[in-house]
């Protein structure tokens, strides 16, 4: 297997590239049979760092790992077989497959429709503000804000939103009221000073 001179530049963390080079050196017919502990010992990384780097390599479609009986793992280098990335680069399952600019409007409509049943429980203005916030598109306009969340349960998110709106709404009103009262007091003092000069 050929190793590119700039292999480490292709990775956000050089460790991931170094572990890939290590696997390439250890591979027999494109397969490495080892343990996480052995890789850690050979590379001077912790087992946690090794697992993290292997997850990145698998997410990029460069390796495929398969746990074996016991504590071992069989890692296949994907240049020798047809591998497909199983996870996105941030380690979460590829929920974004098929999410393009073309179908984001359909998903946005589906999200909007999923909120309709909650109109019986929450004010229409609150539901609209919730939708506007969570349906905001990313820079590439392929995903909505809520689709980037690790976890999502609409009823719980709405409950949290409602409680925060109640708290912040009260604070906003009281702050606005205080500002109005302070302004009125300042105007009255100014008018009193003008009347006193005349």
Q: How far apart are CA 90 and CA 187, in angstroms?
A: 56
CA distance 160 to 26: 51
The tokens 């539901």 sit on which residue?
127
* Strand 63-67, strand 31-35: pairing: unpaired
DSSP state letter for 63: E
Q: Which residues contact 13 (CB under 8 A, 6 or more apart)?
A: 53, 56
- Residue 176 Cα to chain centre, angstroms: 35
Alpha-carbon span 198 to 193, nearest angstrom = 9
Per-residue pLDDT of the chain (198 residues), as tens digits, is 455 555 556 677 788 888 888 888 888 888 888 888 888 899 898 989 888 888 888 888 888 877 765 667 888 887 644 455 444 444 444 444 455 556 888 898 999 999 999 999 999 999 999 999 999 998 888 889 999 888 999 999 999 999 988 776 644 445 556 666 766 676 767 667 776 665
């Amino acid at each position: 297997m050929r190793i590119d001179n700039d292999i480490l530049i292709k990775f956000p963390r050089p460790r991931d590239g170094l572990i890939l080079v290590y696997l390439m050196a250890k591979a027999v017919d494109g397969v490495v049979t080892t343990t996480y502990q052995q890789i850690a010992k050979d590379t001077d990384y912790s087992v946690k760092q090794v697992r993290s780097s292997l997850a990145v390599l698998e997410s990029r479609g460069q390796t495929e790992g398969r746990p074996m009986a016991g504590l071992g793992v069989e890692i296949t280098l994907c240049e020798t077989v047809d591998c497909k990335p199983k996870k996105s680069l941030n380690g979460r399952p590829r929920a974004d497959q098929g999410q393009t600019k073309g179908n984001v409007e359909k998903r946005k409509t589906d999200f909007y429709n999923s909120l309709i049943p909650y109109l019986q429980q929450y004010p229409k203005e609150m539901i609209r503000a919730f939708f506007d916030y969570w349906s905001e598109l990313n820079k590439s306009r392929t995903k909505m804000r809520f689709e980037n969340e690790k976890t999502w349960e609409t009823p719980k998110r709405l409950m949290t939103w409602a409680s925060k709106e109640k708290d912040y709404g009260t604070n906003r009103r009281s702050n606005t009221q205080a500002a109005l009262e302070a302004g009125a007091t300042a105007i009255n003092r100014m008018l009193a000073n003008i009347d006193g000069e005349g």
